[in-house]
Amino acid sequence: MFLSLFLASALAPSPAQGLDALYARLLEQTAQRREAAEVLWQSTGVPWLAGDRDAIPRELGGAGQELQAPATSQLEVFLEKPEVHRRSIYRLLSLLEKIVNPSGANRIAYLLAQIPADLRSSAFALCCQKGDGPSFAEVEKFLQSKDIQEKSAALSALLAHGPIERIGPWLSTCDLDLGPDGFTETILQIIGQRDLPQGFFLPEFLFLSKDVRESAAILTILKKSPDPSREDWVVAILTDLSQIYDLRLASLIVAERGVAKMKWRSAERKMSALVRSRKPDALAEKVAWALFRLGQKDGKKWLLKEPKADAKDNPKDWRALIRLGRMQVNVNEHKDGYRTFKEAIGLANLNRGRLQDFDWVWASRSAAGCRKYDEAGAWLSKARLSPQELKPFANLPEFEDCRLKSPFRRLFGL
């Protein structure tokens, strides 16, 4: 028994031998494709490089990754005299961007220092987009470049495609103010386009800027990856009446999420104070809806205030009552909304007024919310809308208990 185990272990291939065998099998399996790629390169690639057209031939652009071997080998030859072959190098990089795989991109990354400076930016993007660790390491070296444009291009490529956990350290190695005009905004937009995980935080120095465009880009990032420590920064923008409307609106979206997910009490108090303030504010309605969604009473109170005052000042105006009833339904005050619609419909009939089709839908919602299903069905029937037009309303919570009953099933086309 012992002898058989000893012989088996002695005869078993070593890990190195196993890898060599696997590599040999892969070479054998891909030999035909590599030979076809070499033939294609000689018949189409070489004439293309010697010709006058930059456009990549369809046969090359649609070729498999095996074509990268002869193309990269040709690139290495041209890089021995880059000043002579600049145009061909440009063409090769354009082709490789379409066909290269991670190992091929890493191979190109080791050639970056030899690539002409005016073509290196596109090579940075190629290596970072298609490569992995070695590519990132080679591009990272250019963050120390004295050429500001080159340094900026390397940073942009890394931020767009490199590991997200490296974004903070990469940003900290560069003085962004030395970059091209608007560079900080650009790199923030690049970061904002990525799928950012929870727990991704921007470096502190970026929040010191007063530039509106940079703040807008930061807010885009905070929407994707909330930072618990940025409540005061977000609230400062939200409550600054001198800021542009769109920037304040973006800050409101972040603040609402902060209140909901991170219990931002200061943000909630400031939002409530904003709707209670007597100073006119273009953002007040948006803030009120945000507070309503958060379950804060000040939001509902603000939304109902104007339609209630209008209905009170015009007690015989059924249209004013309709507006009030709609808002009461929208803020889930179905009982009050039902009474308001009953009164509005009575006044409209008395004055030969005619409710609009969607007014009947809101009236039906108010009745259904009070479980007065007979009136809800009758009012919905008066909407004179097709099942296709009414179908979006079928999933509203007010109709949950009745949408499969008559006449709702027929009206909703279910």
Average pLDDT, the chain: 89
pLDDT digits (tens, 9 = 90+) for 186-243: 999 999 999 998 889 999 999 998 999 999 999 999 999 999 999 999 999 999 999 9
Q: What's the sign of the alpha-carbon dihedral 107, 112, 114, 116?
A: positive
Read off the pLDDT band of 247 (50, 70, 90).
Answer: very high
CA distance 206 to 303: 37
Read off the pLDDT band of 3 (50, 70, 90).
Answer: very low
Q: What is the mean pLDDT of residues 102-120?
A: 94
**Structural contact between residues 53 and 83, judged by C-beta atoms closer than 8 angstroms:** no
Residue 377 pLDDT greater than 50, yes or no: yes
pLDDT digits (tens, 9 = 90+) for 123-143: 999 999 999 999 999 999 999
pLDDT digits (tens, 9 = 90+) for 68-109: 899 999 999 999 999 999 999 999 999 999 999 999 999 999
Tell me the longest C-alpha to C-alpha distance in the chain.
Answer: 108
CA distance 389 to 50: 63
**Structural contact between residues 215 and 247, judged by C-beta atoms closer than 8 angstroms:** yes
What integer pLDDT is reported at residue 179 of this predicted model?
77
What integer pLDDT is reported at residue 158 of this predicted model?
96
363: which 2 tokens? 């009236």
Phi/psi at 94 (5° precision): -65, -40
pLDDT digits (tens, 9 = 90+) for 269-301: 999 999 999 888 999 999 999 999 999 999 999
Angstrom CA distances, 164 to 169, 170, 312, 329, stand at: 10, 10, 57, 45
Residue 2 pLDDT greater than 50, yes or no: no
Counting Cβ atoms within 10 Å, is residue 338 exposed (0-12), middle (13-18) or buried (19+)?
Answer: buried
**Structural contact between residues 179 and 143, judged by C-beta atoms closer than 8 angstroms:** no
What integer pLDDT is reported at residue 10 of this predicted model?
47
**Structural contact between residues 197 and 164, judged by C-beta atoms closer than 8 angstroms:** yes
194: which 2 tokens? 């990525």
What integer pLDDT is reported at residue 401 of this predicted model?
86
